[in-house]
Amino acid sequence: MTLDDATLGRLAEHLETCQLQARDTLKITDDYPDMDWEDAYAVQDRILQRKLARGARVVGLKCGLTSRAKIQQMGVTAPVFGFLVDEFAVAEGAMVRTAELIHPEVEPEIAFVLKHELRGPGCHVGAALAATDFVLPGIEVIDSRYRDFKFDLKSVIADNTSAARFVVGGRALPAADVDLRTCGVVLEKNGQSVALGAGAAVLGHPAAAVAALANHLGRRGHSIPAGSLILSGGVTKAVAVAPGDHVCLRVQGMGQVSLRFN
Ligand code: 0L1
Ligand code: MG
């Protein structure tokens, strides 16, 4: 750690205020170039503590930057992990208010719900699948608090990996009933297909992202609790949305889930 407690708290307050007020900012490493990975996750933890203190509930976890498309789009090198709280959750087919967001983009994801706790290090695809109760389609709405989505990995980790809204829905399937590597994913905006992919785009198998999350938490003395919902990361690049847009994600064998924006 290179940052003291007061600085971590100040950065968390700054980034969370930007999120709540839909205001953008410059990346925080501009002012704190020596910030390390621990500092970055510590800022994220403090944002979570602020939300919990106001009565928020953790409803899940997320993996980000887990596909080549996303890594290339953002010019970064490694997966990142964040939290999902109830204020981010949107009902299937519901309206998302873009006035509450800075520059929202949507990502097609495969969501996992665990029936058993998953604890790393040492987790692999098999362990993640064995711990999975079911999988279902999910759309994540990301909204980096950084101006023009210009950031580095540490800044984006501190900003809770751009988490803003998400929806899950469609048809929940036992993981054993679907080949998550070859299942096709089609993201439509206003009735036109705008991004296509297959599950294998996510680290070779979306369950590998869940295992990576368990290993990340395990290194910090935590685990993924039974019952957790996990977004495994965008299968394709993210797609910008604007008021009036309707977005629908279809995942092979798992039906569809949609969102509208006003
Ligand atoms: O969920 C994600 O893949 C996003 C991670 C953060 C980077 C971004 O804002 O694109
Ligand atoms: Mg995502």
Q: Is the dihedral of CA 259, 96, 167, 207 positive or negative?
A: positive
Cα 242 from Cα 244, distance rounded (Å): 6
Q: How confident is the model at residue 92 (pLDDT cuts 50, 70, 90)?
A: very high
Cα 37 from Cα 91, distance rounded (Å): 34
* Sole residue written with tokens 């009902």: 91
Q: In the predicted model, is pLDDT for residue 74 greater than 90?
A: no
In this structure, the residue with its CA closest to atom 6 of ligand 1 is 161
The rounded Å distance from CA 16 to ligand 2 centre is: 18
What is the identity of the amino acid at 108? P
Which ligand 1 atom is nearest residue 70's CA? 3
Q: Which of 77-81, 117-121, 184-188, 193-197 has the lowest mean pLDDT?
A: 77-81
Q: Is 16 within a domain?
A: no
pLDDT of 136-158, one tens digit each? Answer: 999 999 999 999 999 999 999 99
Helical H runs in the chain?
A: 5-21, 37-53, 68-74, 125-131, 153-158, 206-219
Q: Is 24 within a domain?
A: no
Which residue segment(s) compose the domain that 65 sits in? 58-261
The CATH number of residue 246's host domain is: 3.90.850.10
Q: What is the structure's pLDDT at 69?
A: 84
Q: In the predicted model, is pLDDT for residue 76 greater than 80?
A: no
The rounded Å distance from CA 30 to ligand 2 centre is: 24
Q: Is 1 within a domain?
A: no
Q: What is the structure's pLDDT at 165?
A: 98
Which ligand 1 atom is nearest residue 159's CA? 6
Does 206 sit in the ligand 1 pocket, CB within 6 Å? Answer: no
| Residues ≥6 apart with Cβ < 8 Å to 53 | none
Q: Is 80 within a domain?
A: yes
Mutate to test the pocket of ligand 1, among 41, 156, 231 (most ligand atoms within 8 A of CB): 156
Specify the 3-state DSSP secondary structure of 7: helix
Specify the 3-state DSSP secondary structure of 132: strand
Q: What is the structure's pLDDT at 220?
A: 95
Q: Is 33 within a domain?
A: no
Which ligand 1 atom is nearest residue 161's CA? 6
Number of domains composing the chain: 1
Does 19 sit in the ligand 1 pocket, CB within 6 Å? Answer: no
| Structural contact between residues 135 and 178, judged by C-beta atoms closer than 8 angstroms | yes
- The ligand that comes nearest to the alpha carbon of residue 144 is 1
Q: What is the structure's pLDDT at 122?
A: 97
Q: What is the structure's pLDDT at 49?
A: 98
The rounded Å distance from CA 180 to ligand 2 centre is: 17
Q: Is 45 within a domain?
A: no
Distance of CA 24 to the CA centre of its chain: 19
In this structure, the residue with its CA closest to atom 3 of ligand 1 is 64
Q: What is the rounded average pLDDT for all residues in the chain?
A: 97
- The ligand that comes nearest to the alpha carbon of residue 105 is 1
The rounded Å distance from CA 245 to ligand 2 centre is: 19
Q: How confident is the model at residue 160 (pLDDT cuts 50, 70, 90)?
A: very high
Q: What is the structure's pLDDT at 31?
A: 97
| Average pLDDT over every residue of 251-255 | 97
Cα 125 from Cα 257, distance rounded (Å): 25
Q: Is 23 within a domain?
A: no
Give the number of C-alpha atoms closer than 13 A to the C-alpha of residue 126, restricted to the C-beta side.
1
Burial tier of 92 (Cβ tally within 10 Å: 0-12, 13-18, 19+): middle
Residue 77 or residue 19, greater confidence: 19
Which ligand 1 atom is nearest residue 63's CA? 1
pLDDT of 45-54, one tens digit each? Answer: 999 999 999 9
Q: What is the structure's pLDDT at 77?
A: 77
| Structural contact between residues 80 and 70, judged by C-beta atoms closer than 8 angstroms | no
Specify the 3-state DSSP secondary structure of 68: helix
Does 209 sit in the ligand 1 pocket, CB within 6 Å? Answer: no
| Average pLDDT over every residue of 100-112 | 98
| Structural contact between residues 115 and 131, judged by C-beta atoms closer than 8 angstroms | yes
Q: What is the structure's pLDDT at 70?
A: 81
Q: How confident is the model at residue 71 (pLDDT cuts 50, 70, 90)?
A: confident
The rounded Å distance from CA 57 to ligand 1 centre is: 22
N-to-C CA span, the chain: 42
Q: Is 118 within a domain?
A: yes
Q: In the predicted model, is pLDDT for residue 24 greater than 90?
A: yes
